[in-house]
Amino acid sequence: MRDPRGFTALIKAGLQGREDCLAALLMHGADINALDLSRGRGLKDWVTKTGRFETLNRLRRLQAHPLAEQFCESYVPEWPELRHLVAKATATKTTRQKLGQKIKDTFTITLPHDPQDNGVMDHLVRITTSLHSPLVATACRPLCPTSPPEIGKRRLAVAELLGSEPKESSGGMRGLIHGDVGHHSDPIGNIGYWK
């Protein structure tokens, strides 16, 4: 769907610098290669021309990691760099290396900087949002654990997912859709209870 100037919603989000909207559209299947009808430019061209460099950076990060792997059943919550960093920290150092490190630590001024890609913060986000996280596992049940969000892949609506889900007894999502489970009013006027 396009506006009168031929821009798609994805191109408009890029023009306006709306990074979250851009990411949401991409993860729900928007065409990253779509061109506007008037000038024949793509998303990256418009983002660069309008000076939305933060948006361009977000777009590059999404393209570098197009699959939300933590939503897969096969995701292993392990940080690949941990072994290397532990081995480096526990390695024996000579006196010269220790003295050099001490001098470096004394005279180095650390300034705040952005988190590293695939660093500790990225790992923390993946762990806390993965299907194996206790925070997520107790709160929800994924309908498609074998099909995680991916750039350019159309996401099915909940109604479409529920249509392909096996029938359950009178509880669960089917029960909510068909009215087997619902609220009823309490004679005292408190919040309703489940049937």
Instruction: Report the pLDDT value the prediction gives residue 177, as an integer from 0 to 100.
Output: 46
Instruction: Report the b/e string of 130-163 with b at 16+ CB within 10 A.
Output: bbeeeebeeeeeeeeeeebbbbeeeeeeeeeeee
H/E element, 64: helix 53-64
Residue 88 CB burial class (10 angstroms; 0-12, 13-18, ≥19): exposed
Q: pTM to 2 decimals?
A: 0.53
CATH placement of domain 1-64: 1.25.40.20
Token pair recorded at residue 140: 């929800």
pLDDT in tens, the chain (195 residues): 777 777 888 888 888 888 889 888 888 888 888 888 888 888 888 888 888 888 888 888 888 888 777 777 777 777 778 888 888 888 888 999 999 989 998 888 887 777 777 778 888 888 887 777 776 666 666 677 777 777 777 777 777 777 765 554 444 455 444 444 333 334 443 343 333
Q: Tell me the Cα Rg of the chain.
A: 25
Place of tokens 């900087």: 113
Instruction: Report the pLDDT value the prediction gives residue 96, as an integer from 0 to 100.
Output: 93
Q: Spell out the domain ranges in the chain.
A: 1-64, 66-153, 156-195
Instruction: Report the pLDDT value the prediction gives residue 181, as an integer from 0 to 100.
Output: 39
Largest distance between two CA atoms of the chain = 80
